[in-house]
Amino acid sequence: MEPRLAKRVVVALGGNAITLPGEEGSVEQDYANLERSLEGIVALLERGYELVVTHGNGPQVGNQMIRVERSLGHAPDLPLPVMVADVQGGLGYMMEQVLLNKLWSRGLSYPVSCLVTLVEVAADDPAMLEPSKFVGPVMTHDRALQGRDENGWDVKEDKGRGWRRVVPSPEPCTIVEKDTVRLLVDAGVLVICVGGGGVPVVRRDDGSWAGVGGVVDKDLASAVLGREIGARELYILTGVRKVALHFGTPEERWLGSMTTSQARSYLAAGHFPAGSMGPKIDAACRFVEQGGARALITDIYSLVEALDGRTGTWILPD
């Protein structure tokens, strides 16, 4: 066999790669956004990288929940893990199609395949007892209480927005299809997987899998996948070109790089909030601490610029 020279990388696309803040998230809008946000992926393929692409699903699962809820009485209910799987398939199809068309128009032939992914979580994960991750649409207080009493939902006020459902967000332990992903990447396939963090599943005592009504953080799941398939680097693409200390204040300081120890002390000091930058920093640190060469956090449209050393924040080993 030829010696392997390609650089294996996991690229995790943030929510705004697919639906921009404030958009309703129509299929037309999502295609238009993917046209822009997948440019960087094609550029990496042209540079010879071996790629696995993961992505978020927040607004898309939220819309799916609205559809299911509104159609009750006409079509059967769907549990959250089935909705997460449905959305992985739908978004995976759209991403695959956009990528294949971009490659075709450049005269490149490169296999692309979307894989619905399960992620194992621990049944005794403490997060299971503390639903904290907001999912689905904003509701009135009355509707939230009705859902709680009639459907057993956990509901909480999303400050400044209204009432929403909350579900557990357990830690990802392992990607169930990791060997399949590795085989496909070894064979030269660009794999789209771990959509929305994957469908969380637990192993029952008899060894069988059971879906969990929760969601796994997609950046943490991407870090786990990255280590499990031997990726050298993890690129987390989001809404900012760089990570900052004192973000959004007059003392804001943009960082070009930091070691995992520095990142962890900034995290502990409160520079990276739990609902947004916090899990990205944690994911980047875990990936590097567990043997990854380095991790990058940058804007979806700045990937190539960041790889050329002109922007982005790198998380490096100590």
Handedness of CA 196, 177, 49, 288 (dihedral sign): positive
Return the active site residues: 15-16, 133, 218, 280
Residue whose CB is less far from Mg ion, 59 or 213: 59
Q: Is residue 55 involved in binding ligand ADP (CB under 6 A)?
A: no
Q: For ligand ADP, which residue of 103, 221, 243, 307 counts as binding (CB under 6 A)?
A: 243
19 or 147: CB nearest ligand ADP? 19
Q: Select the binding partner of residue 185 from Mg ion, ligand ADP, none (C-beta < 5 to 8 A, by kind).
A: none
Q: Confirm or reject binding of residue 198 to ligand ADP (CB under 6 A).
A: no
Q: How far apart are CA 191 and CA 118, in angstroms?
A: 14
Helix (H, G, I), strand (E, B) or coil at 102: helix
Residue nearest to ligand ADP according to CB distances in the complex:
14
Q: Going by C-beta distance under 8 Å and a sequence separation of 6 or more, which residues neighbour residue 165?
A: 65, 134, 135, 136, 144, 147, 153, 154, 155
For residue 228, what are its two tokens?
């499990």
Contacts of 30 (CB under 8 A, 6+ apart): 18, 19, 60, 91, 94
How long, in residues, is the chain?
A: 318
d(CA 84, CA 61): 7
User: How many chain residues are in contact with ligand ADP, going by CB under 6 A?
Assistant: 15
Both tokens of 106, joined, read: 């450049």
State yes or no: residue 272 binds ligand ADP (CB under 6 A): yes
Q: Which stretch binds Mg ion (CB under 5 A): 13-21, 93-101, 298-306, 307-315?
A: 13-21
C-alpha dihedral, 306 to 310 to 314 to 317, nearest 10° = 120
Distance in Å, CB of 237 to Mg ion, minimum = 12
Rounded CA-CA distance 49/27 in Å is 29
Out of 9, 11, 12, 15, name the contact with Mg ion by CB under 5 A. 15
Q: Which stretch binds ligand ADP (CB under 6 A): 10-18, 66-74, 285-293, 304-312?
A: 10-18
State which residue, 90 or 278, has the beta carbon closest to ligand ADP. Answer: 278
- The yes or no reply on residue 222 touching ligand ADP (CB under 6 A) is no
Say which residue the tokens 């997987």 belong to: 193
Instruction: Give residues in contact with ligand ADP (CB under 6 A).
Output: 14-16, 56, 238-240, 243-244, 247, 271-273, 276-277
Instruction: Give residues in contact with Mg ion (CB under 5 A).
Output: 15
